[in-house]
């Protein structure tokens, strides 16, 4: 039985029950597969005098320790600057903040391996911990390290590289992320382990009654890179062919006002319905057989669990070529892939699905089979344990 120390600053807490839920799902399956796991989730330190501000009070109220679905989670504080300021030093500050709790933890729980989620700041802190306790460590790259951190400044890039060089094994959640790594010696120790779902959690007891003869859905944060504006523009072209088309938008974010204005300008208020941010259990209820197409033309996606959740429901799914979802979708076989930023391609693909519902249904059923065979948290945990065994040898 392996003792695994998971360190992730993305993990559910009393402040945010869905942050890093994918890490929690993996941890649960690792435990089910025989690992003993403790989780350390570093939380930004907030001075008490800022407790009157709702955003900061949520951090202050996070307990130092809690048991979440049977998983023991520790929440030590570390210094973090707002707005990504001094991001290049964040790994060092994190190490200072977590070393004491990990020292106490090690006396009762002698971990055999450290699993760091993200290179910066967690992986950087794990370099020192790995050397101190003489245990190997593996780092999982989820996307932010390669899509944001390395572009922040030259020192951030160097620190990400340092983590990759010191890690005993590198896991990326998609081939898209693996292909960003250029050095052969780093590629040789990099393996792709895609995220997954628990199929039993993606079955709704009762589906939402969706209006419209043609139904389209997306679920995402409402930010520029998700391409929700492309979906809306596609609907404006398709409404002439399918007047009763309904596009349900689940999610919230900084682009909401711009998207709402776009809907108003295109006179699509009867066709586009904003549902806001919904709990996962409610989202699944919208992924019903009545839904004809799930479209998320995001052009900056490390993987995208929501795609496989929709595929698990048998819905024909549209993703973007060159993104993480390419690991799952074979175009026109178990889903559909479109060119990034290409409105015409998106319109043609949606039109094909809506006008060939029987053929699209077969594609959706193939997508469900793909997910159930390879893209579950159980398969993810089994592959991850194989990595632990390899580096512990």
Q: Is residue 1's pLDDT more than 80?
A: no
- What's the confidence (pLDDT) of residue 226? 97
CA angle centred on 389, ends 385 and 391, rounded to 5°:
115
Q: What percentage of residues in the chain have a pLDDT greater than 90? A: 89
Report pLDDT for 393.
81
Closest CA to 335 of 355, 358, 310, 356: 310
Is it true that 3-196+377-392 and 200-374 share their CATH fold?
yes
- Is 150 in contact with 42 (CB distance < 8 Å)? no
Grade residue 211 by pLDDT with cuts at 50, 70 and 90: confident
- What integer pLDDT is reported at residue 70 of this predicted model? 95
CA distance 28 to 30: 5
Instruction: Output 51 or 161, whichever has higher pLDDT.
Output: 161
pLDDT given at position 27: 98
pLDDT digit string, tens, across residues 339-361: 999 999 999 999 999 999 999 99
Helix, strand or coil, per DSSP, at residue 392:
helix
The whole-number pLDDT of residue 204 equals 76
Query: Would you state the pLDDT for residue 56?
Result: 87
- Assigned CATH topology for domain 200-374: Rossmann fold (3.40.50)
Which residues 6+ apart lie within 8 Å of 274 measured at CB?
A: 249, 256, 259, 260, 263
| Residue range 35-41: mean pLDDT, rounded | 98
370 closest CA partner among 322, 310, 323: 310
Class of the domain covering 3-196+377-392: alpha beta
pLDDT exceeds 90 at position 105 = yes
Per-residue model confidence (pLDDT) at position 265? 98
pLDDT at position 271 is: 98
Tell me the percentage of the chain whose pLDDT exceeds 70.
100
Cα separation of 302 and 308, whole Å?
A: 13
pLDDT higher than threshold 90 for residue 205:
no
Phi, psi of 138 (to 5 degrees): -115, 140
Nearest to 372 by CA among 187, 158, 205, 200: 200
83 touches 49 (CB < 8 A)? no
Please report the pLDDT score of residue 203 as a whole number: 81
DSSP, collapsed to helix, strand or coil, labels residue 121 as: helix
* pLDDT tens digit sequence for 321-336: 999 999 999 999 999 9
Please report, for the chain, the start and end positions of each structural domain, with discontinuous segments joined by +.
3-196+377-392, 200-374
Out of 50-59, 148-157, 265-274, 312-321, pick the least confident.
50-59
Judged against a pLDDT cut of 90, whether residue 311 lies above it is answered with yes
């Amino acid at each position: 039985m392996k003792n695994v120390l998971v360190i992730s600053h993305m993990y559910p807490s009393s402040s945010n029950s869905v942050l890093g839920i994918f890490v929690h799902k993996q941890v649960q399956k690792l435990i089910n597969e025989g690992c003993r796991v403790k989780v350390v989730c570093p939380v930004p330190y907030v001075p008490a005098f800022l407790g009157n501000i709702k955003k900061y009070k949520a951090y202050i109220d996070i307990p130092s320790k809690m048991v979440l679905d049977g998983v023991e989670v520790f929440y030590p504080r570390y210094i973090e600057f707002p707005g990504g300021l001094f991001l290049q030093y964040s790994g060092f500050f994190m190490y200072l903040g977590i070393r004491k709790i990990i020292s106490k933890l090690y006396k009762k729980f002698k971990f055999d391996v450290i699993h760091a989620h993200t290179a910066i700041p967690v992986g950087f802190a794990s370099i020192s911990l790995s050397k101190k306790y003489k245990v190997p460590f593996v780092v999982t790259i989820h996307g932010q390290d390669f899509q944001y951190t390395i572009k922040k400044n030259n020192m951030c890039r160097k620190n990400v590289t340092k983590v990759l060089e010191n890690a005993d094994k590198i896991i990326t959640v998609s081939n898209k992320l693996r292909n960003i790594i250029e050095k052969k010696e780093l590629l040789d120790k990099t393996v792709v382990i895609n995220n997954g779902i628990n199929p039993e959690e993606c079955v709704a007891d009762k589906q939402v009654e969706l209006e419209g003869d043609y139904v389209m859905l997306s679920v995402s944060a409402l930010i520029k890179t998700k391409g929700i504006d492309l979906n809306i523009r596609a609907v404006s072209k398709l409404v002439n062919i399918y007047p009763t088309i309904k596009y349900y938008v689940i999610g919230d974010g900084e682009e909401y006002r711009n998207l709402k204005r776009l809907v108003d300008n295109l006179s699509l208020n009867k066709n586009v319905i904003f549902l806001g941010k919904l709990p996962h259990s409610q989202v699944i209820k919208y992924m019903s057989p009545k839904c004809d197409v799930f479209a998320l033309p995001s052009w900056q996606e490390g993987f995208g669990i929501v795609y496989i959740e929709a595929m698990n429901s048998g819905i024909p799914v549209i993703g973007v070529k060159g993104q993480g979802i390419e690991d799952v979708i074979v175009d026109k076989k178990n889903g559909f892939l479109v060119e990034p930023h290409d409105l015409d391609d998106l319109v043609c693909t949606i039109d094909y699905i809506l006008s060939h519902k029987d053929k699209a249904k077969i594609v959706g059923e193939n997508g469900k089979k793909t997910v159930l065979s390879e893209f579950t948290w159980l398969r993810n945990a089994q592959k991850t344990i194989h990595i632990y065994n390899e580096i512990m040898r």
